[in-house]
Structure 1
């Protein structure tokens, strides 16, 4: 019987073990999409205890605890940090098969050097030992210990990026770069949309009175972000994009309708989103940026808890919306103008794996290896089977060796062992193909694939 999470965890063949230990394990990390707070990096924040590190804002763990019957006062309520931590430890053993079980133990071992099972019995000892270790750590320590070469944060176009500028002047080994996330400009029906336009216009020095004005302001902020080192944009695409876009004058009418205080209908919102993506895609192409599209989330399903806790608190799920035709139309429009930027398609719905993995092949043009990428397993797919299925699906329909690999997509500085988890699964899958006679036992060729997916492809693709 294999020991729990030993050094060969998830590695089930000689080839997998050799690839992981000799090639993958010590490669630097390029985390091109995260939700780390740049202010916490600039200030070299120290966490008061492991509960703040693990449970503060981590909606993955919050969902798990709720599902296990833990009351909200032990999750986001007023219980003490230690009580919340003990509550998590008590229920984690129930989560067999959940990636959080693996991630948490990997974090405990890699970050704290603690080789204990996380359960109610060991909670007190873990609390004491982890907190003692945290007393000598700050956010820089997490990044440097994990070997993070580049970490991209998620930033609004109206942000001044002052903290990023400050970080540049510091001697942190990790390069921390902004990434452009214009969701507030895309969510036209949000209550504070008009107020947001005023803020955006002020920083861009543009009086926003039309759709064209807004796009000008967004474009100017792309230039500003580019000067600060940004190379990536990110968009949440939570609506099905229409197949036939409206002409510019009708988009302007929709924009004026919203400025006048009237919310748009669902179909009108979709048209607006398509217009913003199309316009920004042209801007990204001009700057040689990558446009990342995160597709298929159904957000804020629980109105009662949204009112109580706000967004991003664990009440999102997978959407079954169909978006392939509209998405293909967006890429086709930009391609027909020779202004299709490098693009990554992330999908939350595993039922769309084959749809997106075949869609990317329609717009490869030989200019960049994997110019249009099928993004890594994301959010609800970021588990053992989800990662393996993403690798297999891309291999079936594309060129696996051009993948730019994994991201944390996390708010937690403790989440970098997820890269280790992914690398083990990658080596496992390659080893299984060799064992089945589907690929030769060519260590040099296999090593090239592993180094590319885990590190080199992302560095080259994003020009980092």
Structure 2
């Protein structure tokens, strides 16, 4: 960020045709398609919003804590230009000093506004500021305090509490991402309240299946406590995981979530799995054994999905916490994650051979390695009835990447082997903006098919609705 940068105050306006095709006739068709979906309910089945926000329904503390601090899409761009996470209010694991003045954090964010030009974050943030909070001036060093005051005034009003915004956004269902060790008290509190918003947990067992994690043995002991099933043996470990899955189902869960480094799903012989588990408990597991056990557990999680019907989301291919210093000081999910290539075809073959045509199995495959769309994922979704394509997410959650995804997959997988858009966000207020971008991209893509004579307009209108609400509802139904 350039502290000496001086810009004139500019109005914040939204082009209602943003992202739509530029060719006049196709844009006209895209407008008609988009009008049919822009106000449809939001099905948010893969995200990281804290359920406690909606359970407590307390006012958001300040603009920075709502829009900057929890959003690693925002902080990573600022960090790439020299900002410090501490100065952006990101908490340190050691309890060390960080900026706590929301206005100071907001000023740093606004001073770096130009850094987001051309990014999807800019699209989301502009729509949040303009549509949710009524901001009419573009962020900059000179307008930071004015905008902060406008948003802070909104946040003090009851119509900007989390549940009121949930209803205003038109969210039909919101899925959170939760550890098997979580008692899901916040979800139970929401379900027991008079508020009718639907918030469901998602079972994310990664921390328990990667046996070389430093905290793994402590986590396994905790698993025994919360499940009431002993975990001193491998069979007990599996039983404890099944109990937790049952608990999640009882609290409304529809899916599981798996963020392995690779797509490897090779199962182990029972004796070998038991031996590796015993080594892990003894603290002597090797990296090779840990990788083999993680692959085996991906297979076992698929087997468990055939038993309880939870939809299995698989999104491998990320070198997580790439900078160990940042991970040590700030913990996981702070923006230092880097995409890596994935071999889905060989990796998932054992899993799909065993369960790919099972009537109670459904898996949604995500990637941030675009080269796999047409070569691997679309062909898999185009033949296995259990497989659905997850749309671009994370690093690919952008208009250009979404368009490339449609172009790369439609000819092999069609439009009906997808699972709908997922926002993958921790930033609650960005949910409607992210879904709106996806709806605009799909409207433009379908309009282009109409313009090329590949679809009738009535088909395009029907398909747009299906991509927006019908497919995610179907894809995330518990199976069986």
Asked if these proteins are the same fold (TM beyond 0.5), I'd say yes
Give the stretch that moved more between structures: 118-127 or 405-414. 118-127
SS in 2 for 1:359: helix
Shift of 1:96: 1.9
1:264 aligns with 2:286: yes
Unpaired runs of 5+ residues, structure 1, are 365-370
Counterpart in the other structure of 1:6: 15
* 2-structure distance, mates of 1:260, 1:457: 46
1:391 aligns with 2:406: yes
Counterpart in the other structure of 2:4: none
1:412 aligns with 2:427: yes
1:278 aligns with 2:299: yes
Counterpart in the other structure of 2:236: 213
Deviation string 1:325-347 (CA, Å, 9 cap, x unpaired) is: 021222212237x3761100011
Shift of 1:103: 0.9
* 2-structure distance, mates of 1:291, 1:390: 21
TM-score in terms of structure 2 length: 0.89
Deviation string 1:58-81 (CA, Å, 9 cap, x unpaired) is: 211111101223344432332622
Shift of 1:57: 2.2
* 1-structure distance, mates of 2:205, 2:263: 18
* 2-structure distance, mates of 1:95, 1:152: 28
Counterpart in the other structure of 2:114: 93
Counterpart in the other structure of 1:222: 245
Quickly say closer, same or farther: Cα 1:321–1:268, change in 2 above 3 A.
farther
* 2-structure distance, mates of 1:376, 1:46: 32
TM-score in terms of structure 1 length: 0.92
Shift of 1:171: 2.9
Counterpart in the other structure of 2:441: 425
Alignment partner for residue 145 of structure 1, among 146, 160, 168?
A: 168
Deviation string 1:195-233 (CA, Å, 9 cap, x unpaired) is: 111111122221112222111111121112111111111
Q: Describe how 1:189-208 pairs up with structure 2 within 5 A.
A: 189-208=212-231
SS in 1 for 2:259: strand
Aligned 8 A contact 2:382 2:417 in 1: no
RMSD: 1.9
Following TM superposition, the consecutive aligned residue runs of length 4 or more in structure 1 with deviations greater than 6 angstroms are: none
* 1-structure distance, mates of 2:214, 2:440: 44
SS in 1 for 2:430: coil
Aligned 8 A contact 1:345 1:375 in 2: yes
SS in 1 for 2:406: helix
Shift of 1:263: 3.0
Count, aligned residues: 450
Deviation string 1:371-391 (CA, Å, 9 cap, x unpaired) is: 311101110011111111222
Counterpart in the other structure of 2:364: 344
Aligned 8 A contact 1:296 1:320 in 2: yes
Quickly say closer, same or farther: Cα 1:339–1:205, change in 2 above 3 A.
farther
Shift of 1:240: 4.8
Aligned 8 A contact 1:290 1:344 in 2: yes
Quickly say closer, same or farther: Cα 1:340–1:334, change in 2 above 3 A.
farther
